[in-house]
């Protein structure tokens, strides 16, 4: 059996994140001291270094920063999914992240 590159292993810290992702929800971490949200999940705030961080659901709103249609990808399992739209978005909560644009044709995308 070969390793799957698209399925990271959850640990005690990230289990809530991956469980939410499996349900189609995105969880962010928000600092209780400076109030800023961050993504990817860390056990401390990357802005003020506080350990007072907690999970919160993302709103699902974002602004498209940039995007590209991927027509060829030789890495499994992505090759069989082409073409797809890879994008960078600014979440309403503040963090910038990479994502895939779904349920929206590339002709509808605007920066």
**Per-residue pLDDT tens digits for 64-79:** 999 999 999 998 778 8
Number of independent structural domains in the chain: 2
Q: Is residue 28 part of a domain?
A: yes
Rounded to whole angstroms, how far apart are CA atoms 78 and 93? 29
3-class DSSP state for residue 82? coil
Q: Is residue 70 part of a domain?
A: yes
Q: Is residue 3 part of a domain?
A: no
As a whole-number percent, the residues of the chain with pLDDT over 70 amount to 95
Residue 2 has a pLDDT of 58
Q: How far is CA 74 from CA 1, 8, 10, 82, 108, in A?
A: 19, 19, 26, 10, 27
Identify whether residues 65 and 33 lie together within a single domain. Answer: no
Identify whether residues 44 and 76 lie together within a single domain. Answer: no
Q: Is residue 17 part of a domain?
A: yes
pLDDT one-digit tens code per residue, 37-60: 999 999 999 999 999 999 999 999
Q: DSSP E strands: which ranges in the chain?
A: 27-31, 37-38, 53-57, 62-70, 84-91, 96-101
Rounded to whole angstroms, how far apart are CA atoms 69 and 106? 8
Domain that holds residue 67: 60-102
What's the chain's average pLDDT?
A: 92
């Amino acid at each position: 059996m070969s390793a799957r590159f698209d399925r990271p292993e959850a640990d005690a810290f990230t289990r809530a994140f991956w469980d939410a992702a499996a349900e189609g929800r995105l969880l962010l971490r928000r600092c209780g001291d400076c109030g800023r949200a961050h993504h990817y999940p860390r056990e401390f705030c990357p802005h003020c270094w506080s350990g007072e961080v907690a999970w919160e659901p993302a709103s699902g709103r974002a602004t498209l920063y940039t995007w590209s249609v991927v027509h060829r990808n030789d890495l499994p399992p992505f090759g069989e999914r082409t073409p797809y739209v890879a994008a960078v978005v600014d979440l309403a909560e503040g963090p910038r992240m990479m994502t895939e644009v779904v349920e929206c044709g590339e002709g509808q995308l605007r920066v």
